[in-house]
């Protein structure tokens, strides 16, 4: 039985491609670096900011330090306006919250609190874990393991929704069942968008099917 749904942020709760590119290009422009190249654009969707910075710095410690300093002083909220959720998230998540505990496990770091507030989900998640917690970013299992710990749920009773190979690898390393969202990652469990989540949960978690729910209600 699934008790906890853990969500990745970028690529799952919203399309952040345009937003992330604008964010990193703003940082790079302030320190005299050229815009993201094609490889960095792909990395900007799934990888932690530190990983993107290191990819660009290529061992240049001074440049890396300036990236971090610029990011700390940059107001990220204007870039949230470029995020593209598939639909209004709050009613959708509140409906899920009636049946499951909800977690957020993301490679984002300092922007997480402001992001969750922007989406109107500050009171929705039961547990949040991110690269800001000073643990190894995905594909290491640390962020997922921390989210499980904070939610008080065992890995056998959790499902992680992600959109990239590093999400799949993190789930596998953490021993958590994975549900792929979109077409950027292959997996036996996959949905095109969050609109298909209910149908997927009916397959993956028969204990929460309409029939099972009705039986639970009648036995109370």
Quote the crossing angle between the two packed helices 165-174 and 142-151, to the nearest 10°: 60
Q: Which CATH number fits domain 4-15+84-218: 1.10.3720.10, 3.40.190.10, 3.40.50.1000, 3.40.50.10140?
A: 3.40.50.1000
Distance CA 66, CA 31 (A): 7
H/E element holding 179? Answer: strand 177-181
Which residues are registered as beta bridge partners of 127? 103
Q: Are 7 and 161 in contact (CB under 8 A)?
A: yes
Mean residue pLDDT of the chain comes to 93
What's the per-residue H, E or C state across the chain?
Answer: CCCEEEECCECCCEECHHHHHHHHHHHHHHCCCCCCCHHHHHHHHHCCHHHHHHHHHCCCHHHHHHHHHHHHHCCCHHHHCCCECCCCHHHHHHHHHCCCEEEEEECCCCCHHHHHHHCCCCCCCCEEEEHHHCCCCCCCCHHHHHHHHHHCCCHHHEEEEECCHHHHHHHHHHCCEEEEECCCCCCCCEECCHHHHHHHHHHHCHHHCHHHHHHHHHCC
pLDDT score of 218: 37
pLDDT at 143 over 80: yes
Tokens of 16: 């952040």
Distance CA 166, CA 46 (A): 8
User: What digits encode the pLDDT tens for the residues 8-49?
Assistant: 999 999 999 999 999 999 999 999 999 999 999 999 988 999
Among 176, 181, 182, which residue's Cα sits nearest to residue 159? 176
The pLDDT-based confidence of 208 (bands split at 50, 70, 90) is low
pLDDT score of 198: 95
Instruction: Report the C-alpha dihedral over residues 212, 214, 216, 219, rounded to 10 degrees.
Output: -140
User: What digits encode the pLDDT tens for the residues 109-133?
Assistant: 889 999 999 999 999 999 999 999 9
């Amino acid at each position: 039985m699934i008790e906890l749904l853990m969500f990745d942020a970028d690529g799952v709760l919203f399309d952040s491609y345009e937003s992330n590119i604008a964010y990193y290009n703003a940082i790079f422009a302030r320190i005299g670096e050229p815009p993201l190249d094609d490889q960095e654009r792909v990395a900007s969707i799934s990888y932690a900011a530190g990983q993107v910075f290191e990819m660009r710095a290529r061992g240049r410690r001074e440049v890396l330090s300036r990236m971090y300093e610029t990011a700390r002083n940059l107001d990220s909220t204007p870039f949230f306006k470029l995020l593209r959720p598939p639909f209004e998230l709050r009613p959708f998540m509140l409906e899920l919250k009636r049946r499951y505990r909800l977690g957020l496990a993301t490679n984002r770091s300092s922007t997480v609190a402001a992001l969750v507030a922007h989406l109107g989900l500050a009171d929705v998640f039961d547990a949040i874990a991110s690269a800001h917690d000073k643990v190894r970013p995905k594909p290491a299992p640390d962020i997922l393991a921390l989210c499980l710990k904070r939610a008080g749920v065992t890995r056998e009773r959790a499902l992680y929704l992600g959109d990239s190979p590093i999400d799949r690898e993190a789930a596998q390393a953490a021993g958590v069942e994975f549900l792929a969202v979109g077409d950027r990652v292959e997996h036996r469990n996959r949905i095109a968008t969050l609109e298909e989540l209910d149908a997927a949960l009916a397959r993956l978690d028969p204990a929460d099917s309409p029939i099972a729910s009705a039986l639970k209600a009648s036995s109370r």
